[in-house]
Structure 1
Amino acid sequence: MHTILGANGTIARELGRYLPPLTAEPLRLVSRQPQQLNPTDELVVADLTDPAQTARAVAGSSVVYLVAGLPYQVATWQRDWPRIMTNVLNACEQHGAKLVFFDNVYMYGLVEGPMTEATPFNPISKKGEVRARIAHQLLEAMQAGRVEALIARAADFYGPAIANAVPNQLIFDNLKKGSAAQWPGNPDLLHSLTFTPDAGRATALLATTPAAFGQTWHLPTAAPALTARQVAQQAAAAYGTRARISGLPKWLMRAVGLFVEPVRESVEMFYQYDHPYVFDSSKFERQFFAPTPYAEGIRQAAV
């Protein structure tokens, strides 16, 4: 059994698409309100902050995927992420399951140059501190031999049918309506974006490659990185509309954040948008497959 913890998100959906051709084992989808992706999927309702429910959800699994998302709130992350990681590690150790953790880049902090698997953790945000803490939990468990695991790490997302990714919300959705695209900070800085179908396919491939375990992998992300303005230009061409984009300054986001919580919660991550954000996935590409070029990814995302 391959078990997906946090089964209603974008990456879970892509895993549900790419895993069946790679493994004969069925899928178990776990969340508070799981929904079937394939006719044979098993659905399990569980709260991952509860140790007993997590252990029951993992029982019988050969591979577990931790792809859960939490509300974008510092307090929630600080309270729940360490609990979830502890519960999942204990459950995988108890039941002898391998663990695949889908991670982001917040723990790296502000990086000069490309981010690689060797980039040290240096978080400069509260959310980054949380991500560093749970990544260290997992790495320590791996080193101690408690679990066999791998970390699959992605840059910011873009892709088809995504509701909450910044490029989709501020560039694609606005251009589709005929409005000007928007971008936090400077739209003329390089900003790597991971195409979600590539992320799902790559994670499924890593999980079914025994030699991939015990390592951190940057998931395939096209290079060279584009600027937000370049993304907007390509998306506008796909929609047949004008390529207009404006940057959202930090002071404006702070002002809006006084009244809109998601904006307020995103201000501490502004450093990702007023400096170049370049993600290197060459390790994965050398051993598996090349990422979808931006031109094709943007064409598919511009729906």
Structure 2
Amino acid sequence: MSQNLQPSLRSVLVLGARGRFGRAAVQAFAESGWQVFAQMRPGGQALDIPGVRWLAVAPRDTAALADAARGATVVVQALSPTYTHKAWRDEVPALTQAAIDITRALGATMLLPASVYNFGSGMPERLHEDTPQNPTTFKGRMRVRSEAMVRAATQDGRMKAVIIRGGDFFGSGTGSWFDLVMTKAVRNGKLTYPGPMDVPTAWAYLPDMARSFVKVAEHRHALPAFETLHFAGYRLTGQKWADAMAGVAWERGWLPAKGRLQVSSVSWLFMRAVGLFVPTVAALCEMRYLWRTPHALVNTRMATLIGEEPHTPFAEALRTSLDELGFGGPSVVEPVSRAVAPAAEAHA
């Protein structure tokens, strides 16, 4: 691991580099030959990735962090609080302001991963970059507020910023519906899906999204002071998830003797009850509408800027994501056929 790197025009500071998206961004920029400054909290464990200098500096110590990353021309804002209302209320504005202060001190371009929360429960099926934002949840309103702070910070010419919006994350670690709920029992031939099986929703495979950040960074000079781009990723129904998962389960010997992937639903009634005592679960329940509302991100501006966005075939992305979770070997008897249990409405 190199610790004696010199600043260059292809130099990036990744804030929250030990978080899920932060790690994916560090890997993508390093693999593309960028010099990477990777911020982690004091006491964090550095990863051995060639071309990366780890900075154990608190994100709010902006002067020290900007000095340590002097010469970085791009800042990836991957800082994120825990998934509760209190954490978002207390930390999102402060973390956003810290990222702004660091970017302005460096005279850099900020790249910020964003979600579809901004559009609210009444969102249309096709989400364009200029689709009106009408958030209907606390997190949606906080996202809109955060992005407005970033936009305002670009108005005096001291920094640029690009919002890159993606769907539900999977891949590159843990901390999403994919690993926390959907695949918990996949080695026993079971898939748990949180929504109706026939509703298409947007998904972002993080290695692909991170690679799109690299491409945007390399074309940033063609952009205005503030821009919003959409990462299309995948548009998947629960049935598409089940079909793909059945194929992987068949290949790896995870299906029971009758050879059928069992698909079960999430009990939202039970989750709401748990949410009365567990704030994280309550916050998840608030976003239930995302599973019931068809939506897809239209990436017109992204494609115009970088061409075809990075896109791993879904089956390959699924296999790799499962491997990263340690689901690499058989756990049940060999299957006799490759089939999927009949789909059912996956909601309470």
Matched, 1:215 2:227: yes
Matched, 1:36 2:71: no
Cα distance in 2, alignment partners of residues 67 and 147 from structure 1? 17
Is the Cα contact below 8 Å between 1:58 and 1:64 reproduced in 2?
no
3-state DSSP of counterpart to 2:296: coil
3-state DSSP of counterpart to 2:14: strand
Match of 2:169 in 1: 157
Give CA deviations for 1:45-77 in whole Å, capped at 9, x if unaligned.
222244445544554322111111211111111
Give CA deviations for 1:9-32 in whole Å, capped at 9, x if unaligned.
232222222223544x52111021
Matched, 1:123 2:135: yes
Cα distance in 1, alignment partners of residues 268 and 137 from structure 2? 15
Unaligned stretches of 5+ residues in structure 2: 1-10, 324-348
Q: How far has the Cα of 1:147 moved from its partner? A: 1.2
Specify whether residues 140 and 174 from structure 1 end up closer, same or farther in structure 2 by C-alpha distance, changes over 3 A only.
same
Q: How far has the Cα of 1:138 moved from its partner? A: 0.8
Specify whether residues 168 and 279 from structure 1 end up closer, same or farther in structure 2 by C-alpha distance, changes over 3 A only.
farther
Q: How far has the Cα of 1:217 moved from its partner? A: 1.2
3-state DSSP of counterpart to 1:243: strand
Cα distance in 2, alignment partners of residues 238 and 78 from structure 1? 40
3-state DSSP of counterpart to 1:267: helix
- Which of 4, 14, 30 aligns to 1:4? It is 14
Match of 1:295 in 2: 315
3-state DSSP of counterpart to 2:193: strand
Q: TM-score, normalised by structure 2?
A: 0.78
Q: Percent identity of the aligned residues?
A: 26
3-state DSSP of counterpart to 2:247: helix
Cα distance in 1, alignment partners of residues 68 and 111 from structure 2? 15
Cα distance in 2, alignment partners of residues 199 and 297 from structure 1? 12
Match of 1:103 in 2: 114
- Structure index of larger Rg: 2
Worse overlay, 284-293 or 118-127: 284-293
Give CA deviations for 1:71-105 in whole Å, capped at 9, x if unaligned.
11111111111111112212222231221112222
Match of 1:232 in 2: 242
Aligned residues: 298
Aligned alpha-carbon RMSD (Å): 2.2
What pairs up with 1:109-258 in 2 under 5 angstroms? 109-110=120-121, 111-159=123-171, 161-178=172-189, 180-209=190-219, 210-212=221-223, 214-222=226-234, 225-240=235-250, 241=255, 242-258=260-276
Paired AA for residue 288 in structure 1: G
Worse overlay, 55-64 or 230-239: 55-64
Specify whether residues 113 and 238 from structure 1 end up closer, same or farther in structure 2 by C-alpha distance, changes over 3 A only.
same
Paired AA for residue 215 in structure 2: L
Q: TM-score, normalised by structure 1?
A: 0.89
3-state DSSP of counterpart to 1:244: strand
Specify whether residues 212 and 9 from structure 1 end up closer, same or farther in structure 2 by C-alpha distance, changes over 3 A only.
farther
Give CA deviations for 1:111-165 in whole Å, capped at 9, x if unaligned.
1211121122211111111111010111122234231121111110122x42112
Cα distance in 2, alignment partners of residues 76 and 273 from structure 1? 24
Match of 1:78 in 2: 89
Cα distance in 1, alignment partners of residues 86 and 61 from structure 2? 18
